[in-house]
Structure 1
Amino acid sequence: MDAPCIAAVSAASDTALRVNWEGGGEDVVELAGWIGRTSPLLAPLRDPVLFRQPQIVAYGSAVGWGDPDGDLAIDSHHLILLATEQRSFKAEDLAVWQLRAQVTDQEAAEFLGIPLSAWIAYKAGAEIPKVVGMVCRAAVRDPVLFSAHLRPKMVGRARSSA
């Protein structure tokens, strides 16, 4: 995935950025996990006064704080990855995932550990829990994870004679 350029940035909260991308589109990207779980280099961003002063740096390829040439920054590649992961997962996304995964409704429900009725409801437009979207996205990125937990139904087995 090519990292888009950042057209505008502002603080949406003490831990989230509102990012406008060149060519269109806007995301509110929550960075609390990024700041809290990465190197101590980002620890200064826990200060809400500093966090609320983001600026575009490196010709639109990053957001920085403080010294424009400093290390206190996040690049647009990671911003778009975080934004994509944080977007809600809709029925259309579920349909695309199922087509890409080439699984039946029953296989998808079993893979996710949910009742078939819940899967059908999600496909019909019911609100999809965040964890379902997370697992579907992770399964696309990691075929080993997908293969380790998928239990395909055997099609075409001879019926037993009774």
Structure 2
Amino acid sequence: MSNKTLTVKHTADRFGQPLACLQDMPGEGAEFRAANLRRLARGLEMIADECDRGAGLVHPETITYELDQAANPFTTYRSEIRGGYSTAQRLAALVKHLYNGAAHTVRLDNLLSNADEYHARIALELIRWYADHRENCPEFMRLARELVERDHPTTDDE
């Protein structure tokens, strides 16, 4: 691991499940500042996402991940957006609004005035990411569809 990259060999364990072998990790006693820890955590999230998608199951592959790459807030804050508490519901409403504003309204004043600093930052990161990527972000599209389906399930009769 350098300051800016993390090299991982994706393969499968003996049960055929995805396995990530991190190379050149710092050893015991390594010192990290908060910013470095956050960068490492974002990198590990990217690696976990690749494992979830089955990286290395067909054939082992080695990938170098850029740690300075901006984190996708639709992935990073997925649990906060899907949470059952009121601010999470407002964040979910924001995601659905970005997905289809005509069908899903959102009150930004309500969201921002009732959110703590952490959740307000999440809302702003979501808007910023959407402004840059729009519907070209598969994680955004997947999450938005999940939220719409969760809140408005379809039945086989429809």
TM-score, normalised relative to structure 1: 0.30
> Radius of gyration: which is bigger?
1
* TM-score normalized with structure 2 length: 0.30
Higher relative contact order (CA 8 A, sep 6+): 2
